[in-house]
Structure 1
Amino acid sequence: MLQQFGFTQYESQVYEALITIDEALDATAIVKRSNVPRSKVYDVLRRLSDKGMVLESTVEKKRLYTPLPLESAISKLRRDFDDNITQLKSIQVRNKPADDRVWTLKDDQSIDSLVSAILNHATTSIVFSGWADDIEQHHSLLESKESNGVSVEIHTIGNLNTNISNVTTLIPDSEHQNLERSRIVIIDKEEVLFAGIEENNWQAIHTKSRPLVTFFTEFFYHDVALTEITQKFGTMMMEDSEIRNVLLKLRY
């Protein structure tokens, strides 16, 4: 009966012998009812006592045993199980190695599939920067995540038709010299995917390295700030030839 909860066969037999009779028993009676050998019964009773599954009393120099009531035993086993689960989770967290490796990936379709996968894993926050048509492929998932309480921030190059609340939009200027297609996806402030085009082919890196997550997070907000500044003061800044030349060289 108790074996599935981590007790030995003899421990289970002794507890069952005690719980199925409404009186306290001494070791001799327990041996008869449980079929546990006399040479083992005292050790089994000691272990059950240590585990809080039997109560002991001495009456007229005779040691008597009675079981922990069944409802109390069930409650105890539940609490023990919950405590063990809590300890197991704690051990997993403590022993989980930090994975700061940087993985590389090629091919646009493979990169896009990985973007979908990591977006699905997001539980608290998503930061997404890219061109509107790239973001559009994940738009329904992003809206779903936001509706489920995940913070979603988007920086899009080109107009994006969306109900997402936090979106910064850059409308490209034909004279921008370094406005290259790229994607930045950061989830839960701990994982980043950056993709860009090199020699006409998409290439990406994916990592949980904290320095790189921090770098690309700052890079994202650099793009957002630059877009906001350009929208508010662009006309004035473009009138200054030196500032205009610098702005057109910046990579958003």
Structure 2
Amino acid sequence: MLQKFGFTQYESQVFEALTGSQEPLDATTIVKYSGVPKSKVYEVLSRLVEKGLLLTSHQQKKKFYNALPLDTTIEKLTLEFETHINELKERKYTLPPSDEQVWSLQNKQSIHSLLHQKVQQATRSIFLSGWNEDIQSLIPILELKSKNGIKVEMLSVGSIHTDLKHIHILYPDEGHEALEQYQLVIIDEEEIIFAGVEQELWQGITTKSKPLVKFFTEFFQHDVALTEITKKYEKTLMEDEEIKEILMKLRY
């Protein structure tokens, strides 16, 4: 009966058993007449009580249940339905803003200017990696942002002078095959700018696409982890020619 109003089969069975009874019933008797398993009946009764469809009473250490009069139940369900209809009429639906587009950009100076602009706009966090000569000019802004409570973490290929606390330095080895000049900035874990050199020209992309932002954030953490592991165990790793060969092929 109640299933047509969005209730579960067990809730409907329990309510029908109580509606058909001339007197209150305890849980054991409800199991007998409703067909609801004993392991489920207390959970079902509790839900019906919360929904305001059952009356409860304690007699001689037993808890008894009684259904609301059918007319009262019908009135209650009607009022709730009308309330939901009015809420549906009054509710305004708007989709959250979403920008999944990937924008391309060329020219080193243009990329550099965009990086500065986005770093200035950061309000929570900045993750930055790239070659020291390309990111040196960002240091004053990054240090100021860090002092203002924004999380700043940087991976520099080559040594760099800064007062930033969370900085990782990768000293490239001559054997690195995949170590190419690049820059990566992740702003507030919501937007990325990634640029690199192809055929001696700087080319980059910027996007707020959530999958890409997640990918590049993990890419950044991957590079940080590799840098710190290599630094800590450099002697051991470089003595193993097989491991060294693998490391030299990795894209930092």
Common fold by TM > 0.5:
yes
Compute the displacement of 1:97 (Å): 2.1
For the residue of structure 1 that corresponds to 2:129, the secondary structure is strand
How far is the alpha carbon of 1:230 from its aligned partner?
A: 0.5
Counterpart AA for 1:136: Q
Output the CA distance in 2 between the equivalents of 1:177 and 1:206: 26
Distance of 2:219 and 2:244 partners within structure 1: 21
Unaligned runs of 5+ in 2: 1-91
Correspondences of 1:37-52 after superposition (within 5 Å): none
Q: For residues 43-65 of structure 1, what are the alpha-carbon distances to aligned partners after superposition, in whole Å with 9 as ceiling and x for unaligned? A: xxxxxxxxxxxxxxxxxxxxxxx
Deviation at 1:146, TM superposition (A): 0.5
Is 1:104 the counterpart of 2:107? The answer is: no
Partner of 1:217: 217
Identity level (%):
49
**For residue 115 of structure 1, what is the amino acid of its counterpart?**
L
Runs of 4+ residues over 3 Å off in structure 1: none
Q: Which residue of 1 aligns with 2:122?
A: 122
Distance 1:224 1:129 in 2: 9
Query: Cα offset for 1:140?
Result: 0.5
Deviation at 1:95, TM superposition (A): 5.0
Matches within 5 A, 1:1-252: 95-252=95-252
Deviations 1:80-131 (A, max 9, x none): xxxxxxxxxxx9xx55520110000000000000000100110000000011
In structure 2, C-alpha distance between the alignment counterparts of 1:165 and 1:239, rounded to whole Å? 31
**2-structure distance, mates of 1:237, 1:150:** 35
The code of the aligned residue for 1:233 comes to Y
TM-score by length of 2: 0.62
Give structure 1 stretches of 5+ with no counterpart. Answer: 1-90
Q: How many Å separate the matches in 2 of 1:129 and 1:247?
A: 18
Q: Name the CA distance, whole Å, in 2 between partners of 1:225 and 1:144.
A: 26
Q: How far does residue 239 in structure 1 lie from its aligned partner after superposition?
A: 1.1
Residue 73 (structure 2) aligns with: none
2:178, 2:135 → 1: CA distance? 20
Question: Distance in 1 between the 2:144 and 2:100 partners?
Answer: 29
The alignment's TM-score, normalised by the length of structure 1, stands at 0.62
Q: Give the paired residue count.
A: 161
- Superimposed CA distance per residue, residues 69-88 of structure 1 (whole angstroms, 9 cap, x where no aligned partner): xxxxxxxxxxxxxxxxxxxx
* Structure 2 letter corresponding to 1:220: F
CA shift, 1:135, in A, is 1.3
Q: Distance in 2 between matches of 1:136 and 1:95?
A: 40
